[in-house]
């Protein structure tokens, strides 16, 4: 086993152990992938202010999200098909998150179902909902999440229509993979993955199959979702979903200050500043570059989270110092999941917490609550380059 020191080490191991189509599904953006790349590269433009001769004892990375105590300002983001990165992937990720003390969010497009997660965990988890044209399916999914004890609904707003991801088309992405000659050759090099999948019955989209009208089998994420994502999603429909849910709601996919103000006026418990990991509107600005404007627009009227591009504890610190309450990670934990299963997710969380803690100390702070723009060196023009 190689020595794992950072998230990038997990990424390289993930590439070796997971089938190519599922690694590519994780590690890709839409069209030219400009936004996908800039989500990470823009973090590197922000520098940190070192402080010395500061008492560093008594530090804590703990904070709260939606009133829930968390081990660090971080949650696991909803990721479609995580159960194809390794067998029963969503269950393994949820268990790792529960033990570590951070929230886990289950995707609508997961391989393991809402009921699967509830049966294998004891801590309340969050459920992410895509709004479909099938209103009975939407109502049913909300009711199932309630029965499972989900403590928050994460409503995704930026996927009314699916952005094109070239790698998925070239790989003929399906779950499970079609047994073509090309796939069989690739799977022959992934014996651990194949053995795991042979031991589970969870091979397709279990939140969808048997719950949506006329869906008895669903291999292709793209074919069904292209037909079912609701292009007419608007604030009126969001209000109806809020009323059906009746609990805490996070609005995901906010990247514009006006939308952020509207979400705060709407009464969202939190907003998630996100460009869907660069998988939707290619050419949109990175989440970290848009964060300051959104913080300025919303203030403390709702909790502000950030995802897209977070690969280190330093990234988490930068986002929190710029006004986010916490970050969500998708790829960073999927690398661990694909590399080492449940242990890999735990390893990713340990890496991020250690990086965050040490960086916080060297910046002269003892807790996330003390972080602010005084800890950062933000280059001139970073926030208004495109104003």
> What would the pLDDT profile of 312-367 be if each residue is shown by its tens digit?
999 999 999 999 999 999 999 999 999 999 999 999 999 999 999 999 999 999 99
Tens digits of residue pLDDT in 102-148:
999 999 999 999 999 999 999 999 999 999 998 999 999 999 999 99
Residue 380 in tokens:
């001139």
Give residue-wise pLDDT tens across range 56-100.
999 999 999 999 999 999 999 999 999 999 999 999 999 999 999
Kindly report, residue by residue over 279-324, the tens digit of the pLDDT: 999 999 999 999 999 999 999 999 999 999 999 999 999 999 999 9
CA distance to 13, 45, 79, 259, 285, per residue, from 274 (Å): 27, 19, 13, 12, 10
| Beta-bridge partner residues of 105 | 126
d(CA 134, CA 115): 20
Which conformational region is residue 378 in: left (phi greater than 0), alpha (psi within -120 to 50 degrees), or beta?
beta
Identify the burial level of 291 via C-beta atoms within 10 angstroms of its C-beta, where 0-12 means exposed, 13-18 middle and 19 or more buried: buried
Distance of CA 43 to the CA centre of its chain: 17
What's the mean per-residue pLDDT of the chain?
A: 95
Active site (catalytic) residues: 276
Q: Which residues of 320-332 are buried (b: 16+ CB within 10 A; e: fewer)?
A: bbbbbbbbbbbbb
Query: How many CB atoms lie under 10 A from the CB of residue 233?
Result: 20
All domains of the chain, ordered by start, with CATH?
A: 7-377 (3.20.20.70)
């Amino acid at each position: 086993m190689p020595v794992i020191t950072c998230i990038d080490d997990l990424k390289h191991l993930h590439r070796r152990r997971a089938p190519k189509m599922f690694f590519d599904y994780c590690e890709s953006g839409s069209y030219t992938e400009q936004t996908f790349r800039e989500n990470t590269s823009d973090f590197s433009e922000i520098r940190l202010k070192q402080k010395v001769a500061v008492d560093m004892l008594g530090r804590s990375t703990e904070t709260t999200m939606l009133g829930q105590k968390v081990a660090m300002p971080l949650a696991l983001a909803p990721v479609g098909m995580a159960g194809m990165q390794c067998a029963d992937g969503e269950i393994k990720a949820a268990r790792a998150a529960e033990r570590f003390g951070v929230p886990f969010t289950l995707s609508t497009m997961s391989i393991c179902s809402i009921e699967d997660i509830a049966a294998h965990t004891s801590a309340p988890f969050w459920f992410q909902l895509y709004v479909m044209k099938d209103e009975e399916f939407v109502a049913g999914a909300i009711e199932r999440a309630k029965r499972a004890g989900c403590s928050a609904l994460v409503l995704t707003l930026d996927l009314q229509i699916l952005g094109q991801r070239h790698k998925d088309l070239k790989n003929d992405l399906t779950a499970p993979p079609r047994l073509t000659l090309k796939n069989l050759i690739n799977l022959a090099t992934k014996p651990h993955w194949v053995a795991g999948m042979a031991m589970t019955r969870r091979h397709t989209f279990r939140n969808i199959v048997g719950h949506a009208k006329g869906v008895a089998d669903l291999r292709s994420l793209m074919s069904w979702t292209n037909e079912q994502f609701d292009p007419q999603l608007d604030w009126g429909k969001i209000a109806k979903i809020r009323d059906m849910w009746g609990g805490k709601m996070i609005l995901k996919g906010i990247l514009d200050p006006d939308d952020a103000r509207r979400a705060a006026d709407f009464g969202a418990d939190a907003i998630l500043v996100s460009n869907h990991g660069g998988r939707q509107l290619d050419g949109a600005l990175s989440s970290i570059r848009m964060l300051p404007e959104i913080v300025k627009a919303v203030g403390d009227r709702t909790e502000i989270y950030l995802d897209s591009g977070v690969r280190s504890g330093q990234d988490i610190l930068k986002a929190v110092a710029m006004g986010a309450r916490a970050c969500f990670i998708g790829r960073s934990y999927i690398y661990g999941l694909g590399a080492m299963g449940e242990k890999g997710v735990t390893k990713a969380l340990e890496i991020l917490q250690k990086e965050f803690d040490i960086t916080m100390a060297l910046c002269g702070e003892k807790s996330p609550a003390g972080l602010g723009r005084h800890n950062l060196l933000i280059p001139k023009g970073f926030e208004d380059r495109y104003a």
